[in-house]
């Protein structure tokens, strides 16, 4: 259980709606769909209605600061079945990258790899009290695209399982281009937060509104507020 799972959920019943993709940049076909992820009835480019409205607000803020830049939507709504698929895929990839064979893993090796996976991926829980954030339709993974349509280099790719995924990883780094990467991450954070999104403390690309993580982050800043989540798991 993550700390934000302590936040109660009072589901508001707001529907999922399609994101107006003409306003944003997207990768087509979707990266997880190419792997065979089972999205079912909805594409990955759906969110709760109010979250879509806030995403449009964030895009408008970006336009004021960087005309002709766009937010690229990497992933939005993600059913638990897709979460399970991607967790399993990431585990298998981590095993291969380490030069190991899954059938030969020791219990300790298996546990260590799963710990790495869950540094990035939420557990695909079916408990209504502990939904993966994307399964609520309130979380979105985003990056930036410049005026030439090129994805902006943020210092690490989305979903990378390393410390480079931490939002402030480059803040005090002396690596080449570190301050540029940090400034770009701050730009993304600022335009999203102007629309009331909150960023996952462990992932520079993950933002949400109205879910447990969002409420928990608000409450950390304002301890007396005691916000609850308004979006729970959909499927």
Query: Are 46 and 77 in contact, with CB atoms under 8 Å apart?
Result: yes
The CA distance from 72 to 58, in Å, is 12
Q: Residue 212 gets which letter from DSSP?
A: H
Ramachandran assignment for 30, one of left (phi > 0), alpha (psi -120 to 50 degrees), beta (any other): beta
CA 189, 194, 196, 197: dihedral to nearest 10 degrees? Answer: -20
Ramachandran assignment for 159, one of left (phi > 0), alpha (psi -120 to 50 degrees), beta (any other): left
Structure token pair of residue 10: 């009072």
The CA distance from 131 to 111, in Å, is 22
Residues facing residue 143 across a β-bridge: 72
Give catalytic residues, as residue numbers: 203
């Amino acid at each position: 259980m993550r700390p934000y799972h302590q936040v109660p959920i009072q589901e508001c019943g707001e529907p999922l709606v399609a994101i107006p993709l003409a306003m944003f940049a997207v990768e087509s076909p979707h990266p997880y769909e190419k792997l065979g992820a089972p999205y079912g009835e909805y594409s990955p480019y759906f969110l709760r209605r109010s979250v879509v409205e806030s995403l449009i607000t964030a895009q408008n803020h970006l336009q004021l600061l960087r005309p002709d830049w766009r937010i690229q939507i990497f992933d939005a709504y993600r059913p638990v079945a897709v979460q399970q698929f991607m967790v399993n895929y990431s585990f298998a990839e981590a095993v291969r990258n380490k030069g190991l064979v899954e059938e030969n893993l020791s219990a300790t090796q298996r546990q260590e790899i799963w710990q790495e996976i869950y540094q990035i991926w939420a557990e695909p829980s079916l408990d209504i009290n502990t939904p993966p954030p994307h399964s609520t339709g309130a979380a979105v993974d985003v990056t930036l695209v410049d005026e030439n349509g090129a994805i902006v280099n943020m210092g690490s790719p989305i979903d990378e399982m390393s410390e480079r995924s931490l939002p402030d990883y480059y803040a005090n780094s002396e690596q080449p281009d570190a301050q540029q990467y940090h400034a770009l991450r701050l730009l993304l954070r600022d335009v999203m937060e102007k629309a009331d999104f909150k960023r996952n403390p462990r992932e520079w690309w993950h933002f949400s509104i109205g879910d447990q993580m969002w409420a928990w982050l608000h409450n950390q800043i304002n301890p007396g507020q005691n916000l609850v989540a308004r979006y729970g798991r959909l499927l």
